[in-house]
Amino acid sequence: MPRPAILRFAAQVLACAAVAVHAQAPPPDFRQWVAIEKDGVHDPRGPAVQSLQQPREALQPLAPDGAGNQVRWVEALRQGQINPRPRLHGTQPLEVRDTEIYLNLRGGTPIVKFPHLAHTQWLACANCHEGLFRKEVGTSGLDMRRILQGEQCGVCHGAVSFPLTECNKCHNTSRIGFHAPDGTPQGARAALVVPPSSTAAAR
């Protein structure tokens, strides 16, 4: 092999290796958090800014997201990155429920698949029922205009859980090829999905 050909071959091998290494590297993390002494709510002249934990320190190790705290809280819990205490005094564990509810079946935007599981891992039943939402499927009168005004789902989503700019996190199920679960009445707005392995009683 003439010399220039050898050099070219070596360069090609190196380039391939570089591509392979790059493909294995984790994606770059561009998230930034404002330090508390600069966040506009803490008094930078007060003593607390010296002692309080910085958001970057607590949140950077957690599953990344592009909005809110820039953390996928449900995913961080699932992966065991955090293990927040579920109860203070009570020995009763949180009542986990794994049924899902299809919502917005008659709307125009994609269907909402609401997971009870992700919500009941954090919240108690009484946080939503029967105040914010009724237990009976399809009777809560969900309305995007009210949600945008901070009611219904908007009590949390837009204030503390992922914000309402993330449409497709809730509107996550395409209408194309969608079939409502068996037993859903014609023209229903919502339908209950009970996973085959579920221990929850079907309602």
Partner 1 sequence: MKRARALWLPLMFIAAIASLPAAHAEYADVVLNKHAEAEGVRPVVFPHWFHRVRFRCAVCHDELGFKMRAGSNEVTMKDIVDGKFCGGCHNGDIAWSPDRCDLCHSGKPGLKSGIYGGHHSTGPGYW
Site residues for partner 1, 106-145, by CB under 8 A, read 121-124, 126-127
Give the span between the Cα atoms of 189 and 139, in whole angstroms: 9
Tell me whether residue 25 is exposed, middle or buried, using C-beta atoms within 10 angstroms of its C-beta: 0 to 12, 13 to 18, 19 or more: exposed
Q: Which of 7, 14, 96, 159 binds partner 1 (CB under 8 A)?
A: 159
- Least separation in angstroms between residue 150's CB and partner 1 is 4
Using alpha carbons, select from 62, 64, 4, 57 the residue that is nearest to residue 28. Answer: 64
Give the span between the Cα atoms of 174 and 111, in whole angstroms: 6
Question: What is the widest separation between alpha-carbon atoms in the chain?
Answer: 81
Nearest CB to partner 1, comparing residues 129 and 134? 129
Does residue 144 contact residue 150 with C-beta atoms inside 8 Å?
Answer: no
Q: Does 96 bind partner 1 (CB under 8 A)?
A: no
Q: Does 203 bind partner 1 (CB under 8 A)?
A: no
Site residues for partner 1, 28-57, by CB under 8 A, read 33-34, 36, 38-43, 46-49, 51-53, 55
Give the span between the Cα atoms of 197 and 203, in whole angstroms: 15
Chain positions contacting partner 1, by CB under 8 A: 33-34, 36, 38-43, 46-49, 51-53, 55, 58-59, 62, 67-69, 71, 73, 82, 84-90, 94, 121-124, 126-127, 148-150, 154-156, 158-160, 163-165
